[in-house]
Chains A and B, each alone.
Chain A
Amino acid sequence: MVSTKLYTIIYVLLFAGATAQILIEESPIFHEAYWIAFGGIMVLSAIKAVMVAGWYQHLRFEPRGLSYLILTALAAALALTLAAAYSIT
């Protein structure tokens, strides 16, 4: 499906992404603008997740139905999490 080379590149990017998250935590922005840092760190996690799902799990090469299936589940989990958290603010 895809080459070992591409798998390796993704592996390196995932490594770099994880390291970047720690670097953000170590930087002054983490304390000065916590929510921006929060957003950056979570976006990095999301990008890494998409890379793993897309290439390592081969979702990119599967029928779209499988992606929609997982996205629906994700939407359900997010709806529960966000609405529940908002409900007590």
Chain B
Amino acid sequence: MTEDTQTETDGGHATVSGELEAGHEEGHLPAYGSLKRWLVTTNHKDIGILYLATSTFFFVFGGTLALLFRLALVSPAESASTALLSGIAYNQAVSAHGLIMIFWFISPFAFGFANYIVPLQIGAKDLAFPRLNALSYWLYATSGILFIVSFFQGTTYDGGWTMYAPLNVPVYTPEVGTTAAVLALLMFVVSVTVSSVNFLTTMHRMRAKGLTLRNLPIFTWSILLTVWMMLFAFAALLAGLMILSADRLLGTTYFTSQAGSVLWTHLFWFFGHPEVYIVFFPALGIMAEIFQTFTGRRLVGRKWFIAAMVLVALQSFLVWMHHMFLTSINLQIKTLFMATTIGISLPFDLMMFSLIYTMIKGRIRFTTPFLFSLGGLLLFIVGGITGVFLGAVVLDYEFRGSYWVVAHFHYVMLGGGTALFAGLYYWFPKITGKMYDEYMGKVHFAFYFVGFNLLYFPQFVAWETPRRVFSYPPEFTIWHQLSTVGAFVLGLSFLLMFYNFAKSYFNGPEAEDNPWAYATTAEWAIPSPPPLENFPGLPSYASGKLDFMRPTATADGGAAVETDGGAAATVMDEHVDHASIWPFAIGVTAFVTALGLSGFRQGVPNDPTINPLYSAIAVVGGVALLASLFALGRQSFDGPTGGYGEAWPFAGVENKKTGVWIFMASDVVLFGAFIGAYIFIRVASPGGWSEWELIPHEALPGLIDTYILLTSSFAVVLGLVATEKRSRWGLVASLVVTVLMGLAFLISHAIEWIPLFEEGVTLSSGSAASTYFLTVGLHSLHVTAGLVIAAYLIWRSWGGAYMGEEENWPVEYFGIYWHFVDIVWLFLFPLFYIL
């Protein structure tokens, strides 16, 4: 493949070699028309459709809220009594709009495509862990339902989508609905973490032979980098939300402590800035994919484009403090982060020029997907340029908290996100097997683009309008009225899209396998819609183009295929399951548990209560959740194995182990953020680090805890040795010692804590107590989870399971987790007991 190639893009040209039968059809899945199918399916394409449908619902919901407050902004409403929405209703509508659009619409919408398209583009039958994929979806869906429920529990969250402290603590927002909204977001972040582990394992371990990272289609590249950013960024948000939940439910005092509000901004924006690219990258990938298809030209400077994306993904973690120029952080760090912020704009310049040159060098066909992509590019460029102002410390002092930020933000997020609608048109024929009406699609684009600019551009002009406030100076009335008209044009333009898709789905012409000339990624080489297991053979790019290989029969009925590790793997005739009810059950029971927990109000000053009804709901939900998790663990389910093609950099590390390690990486950031929060609060405390009084009176109990945990870790490794020696009772004995040591560790904590509680030292006693109890408590929670797993392993090993190197992986993977818990304690011990 060369730069001059006009028709072959990344991933090679898709052709089917020979007549091959389709893969396993439909498995045990109910038919598409059955509700049951959508509750039990674990197939990546079904999950993709579920994500697209659910996120579209939230798009309409969040959009309706926006129309509501845009109507309220038609007049300046100089007093609350003359406003269409009351102050509190306005605050809820604005906050919920932001939260819904950022978390429940735009990223999940992109992940609808990622679910559907990425396995097809890399040549996989499904994601590495299909049930976890369904679990991610159900946690996402039920978290969204919980957010909706929060509207009916007094008020939902009304302190802005950034949830700044101290507004986020019960002193200012004591309502149950606010807590429910926080817990909904926490559930959503858990869903994202599960999804990140799954996608990273899949994309690194399950690529077709010959599909090296360098040759990955550009959309898949964008998703790969998005998921890497998600893994680390959302772990920081998870820490922030867990701490916030503790402040609200248990009464800890993190965000009301000295510099507590700055702590929240650190945790939030360490997530929040990468989130901008987490939202934008999938759209960028779609943009690039569509530019290639509809210009008939390979992306100009493709490898530099990829390098720029990698650079942005790395840099995205080094710019977060430009959101904090108006806080009390020092000038040196502001200057440093101004420089890094300017630095991150440079790779974007390269990407924008690459897209523009691709158009110049190619022959453009102005289809609906291309128009939306081009529109997205133009809008993003406006968003990018106006953002440079906010990256400069001095200008940010002026613009922060104004409508300049609102306009810039929407040009970046929704402007860039415009390409997601391009993706919807682009892949509609593949997903449905029907062709949409092109003319109606173009009319939709025209209204969308005009509506978008009418909505957001006047906000640049009226930039002095204060953000998140229901009134504004009367001289800006005309601009806000234009903006409101634009909002309705933009919103109503989607009626055209819905009508177009509905009409086309039921009465539209059949779509060919590849309705787009020059579309060359693998999804276009198979039928529209694709069969359940995607490919009529094993996909391979070894010849430089996509072929579907006929499996070579082996004694066990599988197929022998050379892997990049040089070993043969049996892959083709493997059985893959596609149905499980337990992800749905876990999603529902997690929802019930979180709903119950929202009634815990220990953090409400002067009125710390726990509502009995909510407590009962939490207990019922919690028990059902544990039962569902156990049932999921017990269920026999075969997922795809992977490792038969390209698997860099995890070749030789099978899927489950890769998943465990990736999860551990996320947990490193989670604990890192907790420890970071402790260090931050200690440094910010009135006497600084040195004057801090440790909560434990002496270090000896901590040393004993360390001895206990080290012994438990030693027992686990001896257990692994026992499995290799096929010593059943050796394994049982080792695991029993592990459990006993774990219990001793927890009892030791109880012995330490009871006298403290009797002295009146509780979670609410101040920063030192809050950080100690919560961080050590989180660790103890990890120990408890480990003990549950270890108890399960004892039960199975008693029956003779896990003997030999082929079968002992559950013990090995449990060990990875348990040793990690040990490692965390090795740092908590000195930080909380000695130093």
A37 to B749: give the CA distance in the assembly, Å. Answer: 26
The answer to whether residues A4 and B721 also contact, given A56-B713, A80-B270, A88-B262 and a CB cut-off of 8 A, is yes
B134 interface contact, C-beta 8 A: no
The answer to whether residues A77 and B827 also contact, given A15-B710, A85-B680 and a CB cut-off of 8 A, is no
Q: Are A21 and B259 in contact (CB under 8 A)?
A: no
Which of chain A's residues have a CB closer than 8 A to the CB of B822?
A: 52, 56
A17 to B830: give the CA distance in the assembly, Å. Answer: 12
Which of chain B's residues have a CB closer than 8 A to the CB of A15?
A: 707, 710
Contact of B672 among A41, A69, A74 (CB under 8 A): A74
Contact of A53 among B232, B819, B830 (CB under 8 A): B819
Which of chain B's residues have a CB closer than 8 A to the CB of A11?
A: 710-711, 713-714
Q: Are B329 and A57 in contact (CB under 8 A)?
A: no
Closest to A38 in B: B835
Grouping DSSP codes into helix (H, G, I), strand (E, B) and loop, the B interface class, with mixed when no group exceeds half, is helix
A34 to B328: give the CA distance in the assembly, Å. Answer: 28
Cβ distance A52 to chain B, nearest Cβ, rounded Å: 5
Stretch of B115-123, B630-638, B662-670 lying at the A interface: B662-670
The answer to whether residues A87 and B321 also contact, given A52-B823, A70-B668 and a CB cut-off of 8 A, is yes
Cβ distance B205 to chain A, nearest Cβ, rounded Å: 11
Which of chain A's residues have a CB closer than 8 A to the CB of B819?
A: 52-53, 56-57
Which of chain B's residues have a CB closer than 8 A to the CB of A58?
A: 812
**A30-61 with Cβ < 8 A to chain B:** 34, 38, 41-42, 45, 48-49, 52-53, 56-58
Closest to A6 in B: B717
Cβ distance B673 to chain A, nearest Cβ, rounded Å: 6
Which of chain B's residues have a CB closer than 8 A to the CB of A83?
A: 321, 333
Q: Are A66 and B661 in contact (CB under 8 A)?
A: yes
**B656-682 with Cβ < 8 A to chain A:** 661-662, 664-666, 668-669, 671-673, 675-676, 679-680
B317 interface contact, C-beta 8 A: yes
Q: Are B684 and A88 in contact (CB under 8 A)?
A: yes
B706 interface contact, C-beta 8 A: yes
Closest to A18 in B: B706
Which of chain B's residues have a CB closer than 8 A to the CB of A57?
A: 815-816, 819-820
Q: Mark A65-77, 1 if CB is under 8 A from B, else 0.
A: 1101110111011
Q: Are B826 and A52 in contact (CB under 8 A)?
A: yes
Which of chain A's residues have a CB closer than 8 A to the CB of B624?
A: none
The answer to whether residues A14 and B710 also contact, given A73-B672, A88-B262 and a CB cut-off of 8 A, is yes
B791 interface contact, C-beta 8 A: no
The answer to whether residues A65 and B650 also contact, given A49-B827, A57-B820, A84-B266 and a CB cut-off of 8 A, is yes
Which of chain A's residues have a CB closer than 8 A to the CB of B680?
A: 81, 84-85, 88
A74 to B830: give the CA distance in the assembly, Å. Answer: 18
Which of chain A's residues have a CB closer than 8 A to the CB of B834?
A: 21-22, 25, 41
Contact of B713 among A18, A25, A52, A64 (CB under 8 A): A52
The answer to whether residues A86 and B703 also contact, given A77-B668, A81-B676 and a CB cut-off of 8 A, is no
Which of chain A's residues have a CB closer than 8 A to the CB of B270?
A: 80
Q: Are B707 and A18 in contact (CB under 8 A)?
A: yes
Q: Are B707 and A88 in contact (CB under 8 A)?
A: no
Cβ distance A48 to chain B, nearest Cβ, rounded Å: 5
A9 to B604: give the CA distance in the assembly, Å. Answer: 51
Which of chain A's residues have a CB closer than 8 A to the CB of B721?
A: 4, 7
Cβ distance B774 to chain A, nearest Cβ, rounded Å: 16
Which of chain A's residues have a CB closer than 8 A to the CB of B232?
A: 72-73, 76
Q: Are A7 and B718 in contact (CB under 8 A)?
A: yes
Q: Are B830 and A42 in contact (CB under 8 A)?
A: yes
Contact of B266 among A19, A63, A87 (CB under 8 A): A87
Q: Are A70 and B661 in contact (CB under 8 A)?
A: yes
B18 interface contact, C-beta 8 A: no
**B31-49 with Cβ < 8 A to chain A:** none
A78 interface contact, C-beta 8 A: yes
B543 interface contact, C-beta 8 A: no
Closest to B652 in A: A63
B651 interface contact, C-beta 8 A: yes
Which of chain A's residues have a CB closer than 8 A to the CB of B703?
A: 18-19, 21-22
Q: Which of A19, A38, A58, A78 has the most CB of B within 10 A?
A: A58
Cβ distance B571 to chain A, nearest Cβ, rounded Å: 20
Q: Are B675 and A81 in contact (CB under 8 A)?
A: yes
Which of chain A's residues have a CB closer than 8 A to the CB of B263?
A: 84
Cβ distance B254 to chain A, nearest Cβ, rounded Å: 13
Which of chain A's residues have a CB closer than 8 A to the CB of B676?
A: 77, 80-81, 84-85
Which of chain A's residues have a CB closer than 8 A to the CB of B672?
A: 73-74, 76-78, 80-81
Q: Are A85 and B679 in contact (CB under 8 A)?
A: yes
Which of chain B's residues have a CB closer than 8 A to the CB of A18?
A: 703, 706-707, 710, 826, 829
A29 interface contact, C-beta 8 A: no
Cβ distance B446 to chain A, nearest Cβ, rounded Å: 43
Closest to A50 in B: B823
Q: Are B684 and A69 in contact (CB under 8 A)?
A: no
Closest to B670 in A: A77
Cβ distance A49 to chain B, nearest Cβ, rounded Å: 5
Cβ distance A83 to chain B, nearest Cβ, rounded Å: 7
Q: Are B330 and A89 in contact (CB under 8 A)?
A: yes
Q: Are B835 and A41 in contact (CB under 8 A)?
A: yes
Cβ distance B655 to chain A, nearest Cβ, rounded Å: 13
A86 to B259: give the CA distance in the assembly, Å. Answer: 13
Q: Are A73 and B713 in contact (CB under 8 A)?
A: no
Closest to A7 in B: B717
Which of chain A's residues have a CB closer than 8 A to the CB of B706?
A: 18
Q: Are A88 and B665 in contact (CB under 8 A)?
A: no
Which of chain B's residues have a CB closer than 8 A to the CB of A21?
A: 703, 829-830, 834
Closest to B665 in A: A73
Cβ distance B260 to chain A, nearest Cβ, rounded Å: 11
The answer to whether residues A69 and B669 also contact, given A52-B822, A56-B815 and a CB cut-off of 8 A, is no
Contact of A4 among B330, B665, B679, B718 (CB under 8 A): B718
Which of chain B's residues have a CB closer than 8 A to the CB of A85?
A: 676, 679-680, 683
Q: Which of A42, A57, A72, A87 has the most CB of B within 10 A?
A: A87
B67 interface contact, C-beta 8 A: no
Q: Are A88 and B330 in contact (CB under 8 A)?
A: yes
Q: Are A63 and B653 in contact (CB under 8 A)?
A: yes
Q: Are B318 and A79 in contact (CB under 8 A)?
A: yes
Q: Are B669 and A49 in contact (CB under 8 A)?
A: no
A69 to B228: give the CA distance in the assembly, Å. Answer: 10
B690 interface contact, C-beta 8 A: yes
Q: Which of A4, A49, A64, A69 has the most CB of B within 10 A?
A: A69
Q: Are B652 and A79 in contact (CB under 8 A)?
A: no
Closest to B822 in A: A52
The answer to whether residues A88 and B827 also contact, given A19-B703, A73-B668, A80-B270 and a CB cut-off of 8 A, is no
Closest to B672 in A: A77
The 10 nearest A-B residue pairs measured at CB: A77-B672, A65-B649, A81-B676, A73-B668, A73-B665, A87-B329, A84-B266, A11-B714, A18-B706, A87-B333
Could you give 30 example pairs across A and B, Cβ below 8 Å?
A7-B717, A8-B714, A15-B707, A18-B703, A34-B690, A41-B830, A42-B835, A45-B829, A48-B823, A49-B823, A49-B826, A52-B822, A53-B823, A56-B717, A56-B815, A64-B649, A65-B653, A69-B661, A70-B661, A73-B665, A76-B672, A77-B668, A79-B317, A80-B270, A81-B679, A85-B683, A86-B330, A87-B262, A88-B262, A88-B330
Sample of 14 more A-B contacts, CB < 8 Å, known A21-B830, A85-B676: A4-B721, A11-B713, A18-B706, A21-B834, A42-B827, A56-B716, A57-B819, A63-B652, A73-B672, A77-B676, A80-B236, A84-B680, A87-B266, A89-B683
Chain A interface residues toward B at CB < 8 A: 4, 7-8, 11, 14-15, 18-19, 21-22, 25, 34, 38, 41-42, 45, 48-49, 52-53, 56-58, 62-66, 68-70, 72-74, 76-81, 83-89
